[in-house]
Structure 1
Amino acid sequence: MWQRHKQQPQYSIAIIGTGFSGIGTAIELEKQFGIKAQLFELSKDVGGTWEAHSYPGLHSDSPSHLYSFSSDPDASWKNFYGNQAEVHTYLQNVARKYQIYERTKFETEVTQAEWDDQEQHWILEWRSVHDHQQIGSGHFDILFAGLGLLRIPNIPKDIVQNFQGPVVHTARWDHYLDYTNKRIAVVGNGATCVQVLPELAKMASHIYNYQRTPAWVASRGQFAYSRLMQFLFRWVPFFMKLYRFYLFIQNEITYYSFTDPDSFLGRRFRRLLTESIATRLTRAGRPDLIPSLIPDYPPGCKRISKSELYYETLAKSNVTLVQSRIESISDRTLKDKDGNGTEVDIVVLATGYEFQGFSGNLKIYGRNKTILAEKWKNEFPKTYKTVTVHGYPNFFILLGPSSNLGYTSVLSQLNIQINFAIKCIKQMIQKNLKAIEPKESAQEEFVTKLNNDFKNQKIWKAGCTSWYLNDGGEIFSIWSALSMPTYDQIFSDNPGAILGGSWGQTTVTTQQSTLMTEKIPKNKQTPGMLKTAAFLNSISDNESEYEDDDAYAPLSMTTWGSQEQQKQQQQVPTNQQVSHDWNSLVDPNYSIKPGGIGSGQLHRQGSNYKPLSETAIVNKRLSKPIPGSGTSSGRLQSLTSMSMIKKKPKKRKKRERVVSMPVHALPEMTVNGWGSGQLTSTPFWEQQQQEQQEQVQQYYDAQEIHNEIYDDDADLEVIPSLKIEIELAPGVTILVTLFKGDTMTSVVEDICRHHHLNMTSESKQALISTLELFIQTKYP
């Protein structure tokens, strides 16, 4: 028989960063294992790059529907390319949906992560970003680094030290500085310059753009989605997924357009871009700039920037192109190599980012107390499958060395990396491992193959200066192929080198344990049976009797309330004595979503649960319609009278009148994880196990339950046959039961707390006034 055990492997996990990498990892960890990871974020909000960067004109250079999580698409994208505000809002909404905010330490910098080889875990130290004082430390079994590559600005020291005026880097934009009618020098011509230059030209009296070599800039083809397209995205099944797949394939095809500049496609691609630039400058009235703005290296040598306004802006009368580096600075005068001086009021640096071992100020100490950043400064940054590093157990780096893409959305690569890390953790659970890391030989083999792939691709070393290359001229930051075959290369190419098991290619440390879970033959499995991948042990020599190991998803279970179980429940007589023992009221093994009692929506909880009080949990259960009563039982204040609740025969009730109150015009009302409130209790491995009782359908009289729970003199009374349906937004309604004696203030507070709503005080007051007016009108 299938047995539940008191213990299961539970790993504490830390994630540094709350950009796409951190949020995506946290979501998958909870989905796959029920683990609620602890996140750390330098800024005051989630978003990573899209929170830290906010310069004018910032937008994604990947299509909106491709620059989002495939598991959480958004039908509300307004434009083909999303701007900074739209992408940041998307990440905020996803973070709210999965309760990322509640487990993130904001404005906190992790300064050190050290692997304890004896205890087999990571020891982290973190400090406040305000006073730089250490405010905490802790140990975690697994560490994820979602730091991002392009986050530390490259700031020329000579300009900052010598220029006697404001100096602003696009990565640290100063929104309080007045750029209107100022003379502004923009240094650089990378992606940030291409985006910010057109916006600054609208404000400044004159712009001087200093660039040493021109860049390839293609037109984005930006457009707004029509109402019809947005309707199809939202309401037509699979339409948005098919559209995303189309965009993915379209971007994959562009890869072949530039990887070999001497091929037919490479030559054609370069000719088309050249003609486009010449046409745009000619139409703008500046054909004289064509020779200066056509690069002498093939497109794709560094990532192609996208803008419809860049060349048109350079052709404006208040913009001057300076094809020279700044040689010296005197007060507010910039001098180029020809000795020409230009006096400006503000210097804007669009000079890109620095490479500091992908970890910045964070010191990551591995098995031999080696700091990862220092190790990678002295050699090519070696990884295994771009995710793990030899000598750094239980450590996963996301979008680090050799993982970025030079032609399409990097989220496709991120998704593959997260899946690989999840697979590693599954193996740790299945094999009862405390630590996992790649062997050095496997890592060397992977890096050799990666470099050999680059040797066959001429484009990356075609004569340009880019962040793809390190100081030694090695290609260290981008992936060597399409993102599409990466699945096969990561998952199928000798997975034993990292995942252990019978392949025998990895260094692992086994946690001693006698706990074993039997595998059940297919022909003996019953509906509702728990399946787990932890500690599998065969009970028969005939392996064909069993499902594959991969089918046993860790800490997942089938839905409760299958057809067979429901048929058995219907046969149970309804005159059995009702038990109100606490353990029967709240099953310690499960949580119940707001679908209602017996809805079958059961979900395994992780180790970082937040137990509710007994009163709070019973409150939530009794606030839902009792089966067969047709009405809510009311708000519970005390459990002292629970033993007084008696079973009543089923009574026929009149159909309730539901009054609809649309209030969606209220200002600034947002939904924080709609319907995400869950009842939680102690995980099953911390509780004594009891045999599950068969479910019995019981019927109660709601008014009698209410009268017996509350004191006789309580000033509360259920409004007969009446509930209020409040429409918060079109298509989003909630059902509220009112009691005489309630204040509308307490009702609104209960609504916000129960449904996880964030309301401004203005919105709350408007809703309170609306409810009071309704009650006064209905019951004068």
Structure 2
Amino acid sequence: MMLPDLAKKYAQEREKRMRPDGMNQFVDARSPLVQDLAKDPWVDYEALAAQELPVKNGDRVKFLIVGCGHNGLLFASRLIGAGFKSEDILLVDVAGGWGGTWYWNRYPGLMCDVEGYVYLPLLEETGYIPKHKYSFGHEIRGQSDRIAKKWNLQALFCTKVNEMKWDSNGAHWSVDMTRQLGTDREPTSIALKAQFVLSAGGILAVPKIPRAPGFQDFRARHHVFHTSRWDYAYTGGSQEIPDLVNLQDKRVAIIGTGATAVQAVPHLARWAKHLYVVQRTPSYCGERSQRLTTLESWKETADGTGWQERRSDNFNHMITNDPLDVDLVNDGWTDTPGGFGLIGNPEIVTPETVETHVDKALRVDAVRTEKVRARIAYEVRDPDTAEKLKPWYPSWCKRPTFNDDYLASFNRPNVTLIDTDGKGIDRFDQDGFVANGEKFEIDLLVMGTGFVSAAAHDPAERQDSKILGRDGRSIAEKWDSPDFGTLFGVASHQFPNFFAYHLQGSAHTYNMTSAFDTAAKLVAGIIAEASRTGPYAESLVIEATKEGEDRYTAEVKKRSLGASTLTICTPGYFTLDGELAKKPESATEIDMKARKAAWMTGINDFKRFIREFTDRKDLEGFTVSDGDGNVVR
């Protein structure tokens, strides 16, 4: 298909998904209306209750890390690597254990679509060898446990941060938390003082539930769960052995055909009496080609000190259309160079080159998308079903998927694709749901409907708490104000000793572990360098200056038009369900959109930029002061 025809086809399909309610078509699973769907199915309250708490009410800690997934674990391990003590670090999480999204998600077929050799954190440091090229979910969760054990990390699980407030007089954060060990125990209030807070809320944390008429009536009579809270007691099986034997007499529907559903559908199709797959927009689904790790292949992979970062950098070069001579990962991801439409590449886009930039992205991407659509036509026997499973949008608009069994599932006689042509289901009733005007009666509803986009939330919303900085300023208010900005995507003026991987101003990649690790090394380095000041270490205050923040934000804005490729996207997670595709209506809105952009010249360029900063060791852009407000550096 010629490029102009392809662009026209994409635009026609995009319009089917555009709707005025945008993100409001979903309910945050923390909402009282549906919060029971977000309860923790994995927690062992008795075991947690029997453990001695690492802190008591009123204690002071040096580092408080909010989040126990890859983001938080990397913050902790890199702080220890920079010379700080594990006993000075406390992690907290609402979950019942380590792992973040890999704690919550345990659905059948779950694996990381990025190869484990670059995705699993700290492989070189732990010496762990992944069993497969693409690691299954329980193995990834196991790596989180290994990291916590190796670095002797302490955590408060089932603990929610309610409020964090900067105390200028005490040069610390006053943190109010609640620990809830099940409904049979009274909640425990815990107040702490923390010199530093590192927010590590992750990006796939909060399930979203579709707003649809009749949903409450339906779920009052039938079983419903989100894929991130899989109910093996109902389906049978386990994450390790996903034999869903209890579904053999059940009519099952799964809503969604994104990265989660692509992995779960083959298992549901194998066991359910009948499976309905409800689709609004299909996903690109390429080959996975899973393989075991052998000693020979591992020797080639782990080829010397620093191998994991080198391999991650190589991966990031390939997916940003900035290829190297050797493709170390060599898989479907590195064969999708159009991914730079989401995560950027080294070329800076100007107003004069926007159209050229979008055309280039479409041209580079077309080879891959045509190949994947041809695969769908080959794998799916029914031509009508195959046609409905073909995506018509650039591959950077939704996360590409890779699976060797998903497409073949639609060849089974017990599997029905319900393609709603972009609209979604019409409504629920007490027996099932209506889609395309047709009623379907079911016993079980599985919601593969994904997560609230983290980019839509400020840092306080991401961890569901209040964050009040210097002079009581709310971080939520700053995130919506014309003076919004970050420094290196990890710090923000008026929020001393507060660090995070902010989606705004940071570099993005499909391998988020490498992005988290880049931020963790940067933050640990900043705090370690500032701590060399000497006797003020215990009362040290590090804060991004307004001037430093503005200089850095100008660099972000200069690169922001690299994201102009998102304006032609079908709505989805990456575009805040179409919000980012809307044309700004004022100069202020244009400026805010540019300020909140990611680092759109790619993560390897971002690493180059911050390396220049860290090599100078002058902490330019930060002030370092003692507890009395005296600048000491």
- CA contact under 8 A between 1:280 and 1:312: conserved in structure 2? no
Q: Measure, in 2, the Cα distance between the counterparts of 1:173 and 1:363.
A: 30
Q: Deviations over 1:76-105 (max 9, x none)?
A: 2111100111111112112111111xx212
- Residue equivalent to 1:410: 512
The answer to whether structure 1 residue 68 and structure 2 residue 120 are counterparts is yes
Choose from 104, 122, 143 the match for 1:90.
Answer: 143
Query: Displacement of 1:478 after TM fit?
Result: 5.1
Change (3 A) 1:494 1:41: closer
Change (3 A) 1:451 1:190: farther
- CA contact under 8 A between 2:361 and 2:565: conserved in structure 1? no
Identity %: 23
- CA contact under 8 A between 2:172 and 2:193: conserved in structure 1? yes
The answer to whether structure 1 residue 487 and structure 2 residue 607 are counterparts is yes
Choose from 524, 529, 544 the match for 1:438.
Answer: 544
Corresponding letter in the other structure for 1:509: S
The answer to whether structure 1 residue 238 and structure 2 residue 306 are counterparts is no
> Number of aligned pairs?
497
Q: Measure, in 2, the Cα distance between the counterparts of 1:160 and 1:322.
A: 18
What secondary structure is seen at the aligned counterpart in 1 of 2:247? Answer: coil
Q: Measure, in 1, the Cα distance between the counterparts of 2:72 and 2:189.
A: 22
Corresponding letter in the other structure for 2:606: T
What secondary structure is seen at the aligned counterpart in 2 of 1:65? Answer: helix
Corresponding letter in the other structure for 2:247: T
Choose from 439, 442, 466 the match for 1:344.
Answer: 442
Corresponding letter in the other structure for 1:118: N
Corresponding letter in the other structure for 1:394: N
Q: Measure, in 2, the Cα distance between the counterparts of 1:434 and 1:243.
A: 33
Q: Measure, in 2, the Cα distance between the counterparts of 1:376 and 1:270.
A: 36
Change (3 A) 1:74 1:377: farther
What secondary structure is seen at the aligned counterpart in 2 of 1:492? Answer: helix
- Residue equivalent to 2:108: 56
- CA contact under 8 A between 2:508 and 2:598: conserved in structure 1? yes
Change (3 A) 1:216 1:445: farther
Q: Measure, in 2, the Cα distance between the counterparts of 1:330 and 1:139.
A: 50
The higher-RCO structure (CA 8 Å, 6+ apart) is: 2
Q: Measure, in 2, the Cα distance between the counterparts of 1:495 and 1:443.
A: 19
Task: Give unpaired runs (5+ residues) of structure 2.
Answer: 1-59, 236-245, 322-336, 342-356, 581-592
What secondary structure is seen at the aligned counterpart in 2 of 1:326? Answer: coil
The correspondence of residues 527-566 of structure 1 with structure 2, limited to 5 A, is none
- CA contact under 8 A between 2:126 and 2:147: conserved in structure 1? no
Choose from 357, 369, 384 the match for 1:273.
Answer: 369
- Residue equivalent to 2:411: 315
The RMSD of aligned alpha carbons is 3.2
- CA contact under 8 A between 1:66 and 1:248: conserved in structure 2? no
- Residue equivalent to 1:165: 222
Rg bigger for which structure? 1
Change (3 A) 1:14 1:98: same
Corresponding letter in the other structure for 1:228: E
- CA contact under 8 A between 1:113 and 1:363: conserved in structure 2? yes
Change (3 A) 1:371 1:50: same
Corresponding letter in the other structure for 2:82: Q
Change (3 A) 1:247 1:374: closer
Q: Measure, in 1, the Cα distance between the counterparts of 2:412 and 2:286.
A: 19
Change (3 A) 1:377 1:174: farther
- CA contact under 8 A between 2:284 and 2:372: conserved in structure 1? no
Change (3 A) 1:506 1:111: same
- Residue equivalent to 2:200: 146
What secondary structure is seen at the aligned counterpart in 2 of 1:177? Answer: helix
Corresponding letter in the other structure for 2:103: E
The answer to whether structure 1 residue 32 and structure 2 residue 82 are counterparts is yes
Corresponding letter in the other structure for 2:608: D
Q: Deviations over 1:86-131 (max 9, x none)?
A: 111112112111111xx21222222221111221110112212335
What secondary structure is seen at the aligned counterpart in 1 of 2:177? Answer: strand
- CA contact under 8 A between 2:278 and 2:417: conserved in structure 1? yes
What secondary structure is seen at the aligned counterpart in 2 of 1:484? Answer: helix
What secondary structure is seen at the aligned counterpart in 1 of 2:493? Answer: coil
Instruction: Provide TM-score, normalisation by structure 2.
Output: 0.71
The correspondence of residues 493-508 of structure 1 with structure 2, limited to 5 A, is 505-508=621-624
Q: Deviations over 1:268-327 (max 9, x none)?
A: 542333233323432441333333222221111232122222222233322222222111
- Residue equivalent to 1:376: 479
- Residue equivalent to 2:24: none
What secondary structure is seen at the aligned counterpart in 2 of 1:392? Answer: coil
Corresponding letter in the other structure for 1:123: S
Q: Measure, in 1, the Cα distance between the counterparts of 2:477 and 2:215.
A: 27
Q: Deviations over 1:727-774 (max 9, x none)?
A: xxxxxxxxxxxxxxxxxxxxxxxxxxxxxxxxxxxxxxxxxxxxxxxx
Higher-helix-fraction structure: 2
Choose from 255, 274, 287 the match for 2:320.
Answer: 255
Query: Displacement of 1:65 after TM fit?
Result: 0.9
What secondary structure is seen at the aligned counterpart in 2 of 1:141? Answer: strand
- Residue equivalent to 2:429: 330
Query: Displacement of 1:238 after TM fit?
Result: 3.1
Q: Measure, in 1, the Cα distance between the counterparts of 2:449 and 2:522.
A: 34
Task: Give unpaired runs (5+ residues) of structure 1.
Answer: 1-9, 515-534, 537-780
Change (3 A) 1:453 1:334: same
Choose from 250, 256, 275 the match for 1:207.
Answer: 275
